[in-house]
Amino acid sequence: MHNLDAAGHVRGESQYLDDIPVQRGTLHAVVYGSPLAHGKLRSLNLEAARRAPGVVRILTAADIPGENQIGGIVPDEELLAGSHVHFQGMPVALVLAETEPQARAAVKLIEADIEPLPIITDPREAAAQDELIVPPRTFRLGDPAATWDACAHIIEGVAENGGQEHLYIETQGAYAYPSEGGGVRVHSSTQGPTAVQRHTARVLGVGMHKVEVDVVRLGGGFGGKEDQATTWGALAALGAFVVKKPVKLVLSRHDDLRMTGKRHPYSSDFKLGLSADLKLLAYEVTFYQNAGAAADLSPAVLERTLFHATNTYFIPNVRATAYSCRTNLPPNTAFRGFGGPQGMFVIESAIAKAAEQLGVPAWEIQRRNLYQDGQEFPYGQRLADCHAGLSWQTAEQKFKLEQWQAEVDAFNQQSAVKKRGLAVMPICFGISFTKTAMNQARALVHIYTDGSVGISTGAVEMGQGVNTKMVQVAARTLGINPNRVRLETTNTTRVANTSPTAASATADLNGKAVEMACRALRVRLMRHAAEELKLEYEGLEIYDEQVLAAGKPAETDWEKLVSTAYWKRVSLTENAHYATPDLWFDQTQEKGNPFAYHVYGTALVQATVDAVRGTYEIDAVRLVHDFGQSFTPGIDRGQIEGGLVQGLGWMTMEELIYNQEGRLLTNALSTYKVPDLYSVPAVVDVEFLETPGHPNAILRAKAVGEPPLMYGLGGYFAIRNAVRAFRPSVFPAFSAPITPEKVLMSLYAAPAAEPAPVHQAAT
Ligand code: MTE
Ligand code: LUZ
Ligand code: MOS
């Protein structure tokens, strides 16, 4: 079964927030954002803006009837700036006008008198000044300090990664109406309808039951709408609540780029100890996370960095410490991988540096240290059903790693200006929200009297195909054709207290709830069939596409069964609750069993660098991925391809630049480069690893959303290897993205202290 949304997307019929018909009397809102990154808000001059054509009302912090607070993990974020501004673009006022252009024009007339305060943009500087979002955290295994003496090689260094703009195609937005009895109804482009509901209620000073949030689908989220859709949902709701008219607020691309947070940049120190036979013995790492001006999800992102600090390698002695540093940038937030990629970049850099100093390919070190069953993660979980070795060996054999490396070396021998590099990128990603309590979901299933089925869950469709998966689960469990099943919008009045669509776990959590509800209905109907009707019900066999393709007759028995059950007053509705079993984590010890299971895979990445121009191409990515028992292979393959390209973009070309004043310079697509059709590798080979899947995964199909992004790290190391093939004396900084400029600078602007003899083997 292909993606349910495919035809609608291609025909332009799929409904997004902006396709909702606008009611008469709707006001359009535009946000006035702080022009300074840090300061005391002395006064706001709204006079000229108030008199501008079409302007109906301008709202500020003083108009908030409830609490001016939208912080989740830490209550440190105002919806509209009260006494201080903390980043450029921080919402200060909301202009409501009859048209959007009128609101936009009026925003330009607003003047703020702000007393400037010192601006910090660098996480290490923030840490030095004790500007921390939460106290630092340390994960420990064994004792690295006691191990250094036993190491044959010790490698130290610094690794840095940049941020990443989500660039969902649909910008942030919401459309809110006043509802009867002093409530609001909010259409929101959010991954977290409950978060929008909770914070809107808090801001308005009403109960959550007076706020209804509805989501049809998103034009992409990628984590950018997990927490940060709340601001715009709550602002639109505030407008509707105060003015008693519908209010639509949709960010322009420019406002979206400058006002919203991104993937966290990190700056990290590492120290890695190896034995003479290249076993990893000890690892010490310190992460400085650039959190931006408020906590947002940063503490949770920080935690996942620690969980993935050793990627897929067993290191018996580990000490990993992480600081979440407050700076005057827009609060950084969730982005596919959620801190995991940042942690993994550092250990991969440490291994690459060791390999370069020892004169061996990095993959010699990588493959000698892969996790195995029975070992322990630094956070205490025991490895079980580990496919790190299997995915590596399958990739190594299928893609002939050593032969491929020999071909790359041979190419480099005969090519003067273009050089190739090969890198292997194995991944291990934990599936579950690291906050145990969030691993719960509910589903509401109605069977209508004609046999059609309507399903509501907490899952938000954002292009990842979760609706198609839910339909499949329901159809298989009920034993009916999927075309009888419809996924309803995600609505807080039908399914409450939802976790956001995130952590790659949405299909697992909501799918399990759908499966439970459908199974209960099926059992009830079968009992009814047996007791009342003595009905032969073929459709109750597990739904099989092949049977259907062979022209199986319509499932008339299903319709009869449902209809007679109704007349016998059998309930055709079921509500189920699922909570992932056996999860726990003790933050005082930093030990536990936080993940339902792990996803593994191994990618081989080849790049070609033009050593005169600094330009490069990622030629080929061949990977083996652990899907478990995929039941939507087309969708899952699409997730791998999309995640991979997004990861490659982060590692190679996507470069966010803020100046000293905290102003985003790369604030348009002319200056911020994302992968396009031409930068997608010519060869992307995705092989399905044959594994039984996991019982905690829906229908044994493992979560697939985030893990493939981390294959993109291989792009950095492949380019680096190509650069060093041209000039082995060069050791570029471990600084991602490795843009063409950085390639060129590393080749020709090497530090004077290290004159670079050409073509001399590294020692
Ligand atoms: N795929 C598309 N097309 N659009 C998206 O916004 N988000 C990613 C991933 N794949 C995303 C996507 C992220 S960040 C996550 S956490 C997962 O999808 C969430 O969906 P899942 O839990 O159903 O995998
Ligand atoms: N969001 C979250 C996430 O709140 N907790 C997580 O562990 C997580 N992991 C990945 C992506 N989003
Ligand atoms: Mo994804 S970063 O969990 O939204």
Ligand 3 centroid to 737 CA: how many Å? 21
Ligand 2 centroid to 417 CA: how many Å? 44
- Domains in the chain and their CATH numbers? 6-118+166-259 (3.90.1170.50), 266-433+591-748 (3.30.365.10), 440-579 (3.30.365.10)
Residues noted as catalytic: 706
Pick from 29, 403, 77: which is nearest to 250 by CA?
29
Say yes or no: CB of residue 502 within 6 Å of ligand 1: yes
Sign of the torsion angle spanned by Cα atoms 228, 73, 91, 123: negative
Burial (Cβ within 10 Å: 0-12, 13-18, ≥19) of residue 733: middle
- Give the DSSP H or E segment for 456: strand 453-457
Kindly state the tokens that stand for 9. 């997307």
From atom 4 of ligand 3, which residue's Cα is the shortest distance away?
223
Say yes or no: CB of residue 314 within 6 Å of ligand 2: no
Say yes or no: CB of residue 221 within 6 Å of ligand 1: yes
Pocket probe mutation, ligand 2, options 164, 297, 303, max atoms within 8 Å of Cβ: 297
Say yes or no: CB of residue 466 within 6 Å of ligand 3: no
Give one word for 475, left, alpha or beta, with left for phi > 0 and alpha for psi -120 to 50. Answer: alpha
Rounded CA-CA distance 729/544 in Å is 60
Say yes or no: CB of residue 479 within 6 Å of ligand 1: no
pLDDT digits (tens, 9 = 90+) for 672-693: 999 999 999 999 999 999 899 9
Say yes or no: CB of residue 298 within 6 Å of ligand 2: no
Ligand 3 centroid to 433 CA: how many Å? 10
Kindly state the tokens that stand for 104. 């936009």
From atom 12 of ligand 2, which residue's Cα is the shortest distance away?
503
pLDDT digits (tens, 9 = 90+) for 255-286: 999 999 999 999 999 999 999 999 999 999 99
Which ligand is the nearest neighbour of the Cα of 304?
Answer: 2
pTM greater than 0.90: yes
Count of other CB atoms within 10 angstroms of residue 702: 30
pLDDT along the chain (763 residues), means of 10: 92 96 97 98 98 98 98 97 98 98 98 98 98 98 98 98 98 97 97 98 98 98 98 98 98 98 98 98 98 98 98 98 98 98 99 97 98 98 98 98 98 98 98 98 98 98 98 94 96 98 98 97 84 56 42 66 93 98 98 98 98 97 98 97 98 98 97 95 96 96 98 98 96 97 91 43 38
ipTM: 0.98
Residue pair 620/606 in contact by the 8 Å Cβ criterion: yes
Pick from 312, 395, 32, 26: which is nearest to 178 by CA?
26
